Amino acid sequence: MTERTTVAIVGAGPAGLLLGHILAAGGVPFVIVENRSREHVLSRIRAGVLEQSSVDVLDRFGLAERLHAEGLVHGGIHLQVEGRRFHVDFEHLVGRTVTVYGQQQVVLDLMRRHDELGSPVYYGASEVTPADVDGEDPHLRFGIDGEQHDLAARFVVGADGYHGVCRTVIPADVLQPAERAYDCAWLGVLADVAPSTEEIIYALHPDGFAMHSMRSPSVSRLYLQVDPGVDLADWSDERIWTALQERLGSPGWTLTPGPITEKSITPMRSSVARTLAYGRLFLAGDAGHIVPPTGAKGLNAALADVTLLGDALVAAAAGSESALASYSARALARQWKIQYFSQWMTDMLHIPGPSAPPEERDFRYRSRVGQLDFVTTSRFAQQTLAEQYTGLAIA
């Protein structure tokens, strides 16, 4: 089957689905092609924090109705060190907030609106293959239920995540990602229990980092720093709750455990492609860059990318390609600020794992206690954190 569109979007994660809405609002034809089933896409448990800038973008396209009804507005976060818990008050410091609303819910809202609009979104596509993206006649080839599709497009967007196909069609000497690996990973759990805190707690402990987040008034999301190679089978629910209680413990406070409904390990790495543009192919979101989750930036950066790219594609479809020509440079300049912040938060809150020499762990722990003591007593440091955590302008 041969089809033609203006923008072929690979990937129906938050980036691809929001881009579709921006193009729809601008009257630009598009097709979204996703290799997993709709159910699989909706079942992935990931990010939970939306910057104010992300909420603003969803509002701009009328996509935030349920978010405003069900999302939890947080005026700050807690930083904890040596059992001392300190509230960083974003509203007071920078007059901004963040909203805790699961990535799954964002994706569900975006999908439902595409259903209402009757948008062309293919799920379960096989062998998705971008072709001739560096020529005048780009194509996307894929199979649906055994039928071969050949989609011709003016532009192809890779919104297919870090393990997607689009970045692989860019020659290695052009893509050239700058990368950093971390010596730790996060064990994340979802639990059917009311959160024991109103706002997120980020804690540094001699055993490593721990975090208490949430998804709703009755669902908690918690994370523990672990070594990258650990086996989930070694982490019983009881061991997890004991470690969380130990690391998040603070005088006069208790953590209420509950049934764990999901467990996973997330490795931590940073990677930024040298360019997000190759011929008529543009990368957005995790396809172009990833950060460790400590700053809560991945989802927000994906939404910011497609805001820039969507506006540029709408202008290009109307005959002006100058915004598209500068998309990669603008998105990467913003992204490197996000990389810096994510690295800063990660380094501040993690120490080397148990396999590192004890003297090194001790030095790193003590220097981070010093850093957290500084941040929790300096208004300037808190303002810097608050400005970045609540989100940079998308421009």
Among positions 167, 297, 350, 368, the unique one binding ligand RFL when judged by CB under 6 A: 297
> Catalytic residues, which ones?
74, 202, 293, 297, 389
Q: Please work out the total of residues on this chain that contact ligand PHB, with binding judged by CB under 6 A.
A: 9
Stretch 153-192 residues interacting with ligand PHB (CB under 6 A): none
Which residues share a beta bridge with 381?
none
Q: What is the DSSP string of 218-261?
A: TEEEEEEEE-TT--GGG--HHHHHHHHHHHH-BTTB------EE
d(CA 145, CA 124): 8
Asked whether position 293 contacts ligand PHB by CB under 6 A, the answer is: yes
| 3 state DSSP class of 17 | helix
The contact mask relative to ligand RFL for 300-339 (x = CB under 6 A, - = no) is: x-x-------------------------------------
Of residues 124-143, those binding ligand RFL (CB under 6 A): 125, 128
Is 195 a binder of ligand RFL (CB under 6 A)? no
- Partner in contact with 200, chosen from ligand RFL, ligand PHB, none, beta carbon below 5 to 8 Å by kind: ligand PHB
Helix (H), strand (E), coil (C) string for 361-387? HHHHHHHHHHHHHHHCCCHHHHHHHHH
Q: Is the dihedral of CA 53, 341, 374, 199 positive or negative?
A: positive
Does residue 283 touch ligand RFL according to CB under 6 A?
no
- Cα separations in angstroms, 380 against 93, 222, 286, 339, 374: 9, 29, 31, 20, 10
User: Is 294 a binder of ligand PHB (CB under 6 A)?
Assistant: yes
User: Rounded to an integer, what distance in angstroms lies between the CA atom of residue 292 and that of residue 99?
Assistant: 19
The binder of 161, among ligand RFL, ligand PHB, none, by C-beta within 5 to 8 A per type, is ligand RFL
Which distant-in-sequence residues (6+ apart) come within 8 Å of 373 by Cβ?
81
Q: Which of 8, 41, 283, 348 binds ligand RFL (CB under 6 A)?
A: 41
User: Which of 7, 15, 19, 49 is the binder for ligand PHB (CB under 6 A)?
Assistant: 49
Tokens of 238: 């009881």
- Give the Cα separation of 296 and 309 in Å (integer): 21
Q: Which of residues 209-248 bind ligand PHB (CB under 6 A)?
A: 213, 221
**Residue closest to ligand PHB (Cβ):** 48
Query: Which of 200, 277, 309, 385 lies at the binding interface for ligand PHB (CB under 6 A)?
Result: 200
CB 170: neighbour CB atoms within 10 A?
A: 23
Residue ranges binding ligand RFL (CB under 6 A)? 10-16, 33-36, 41, 46-49, 103, 125, 128, 159-161, 164-165, 188, 266, 285-286, 293, 296-300, 302
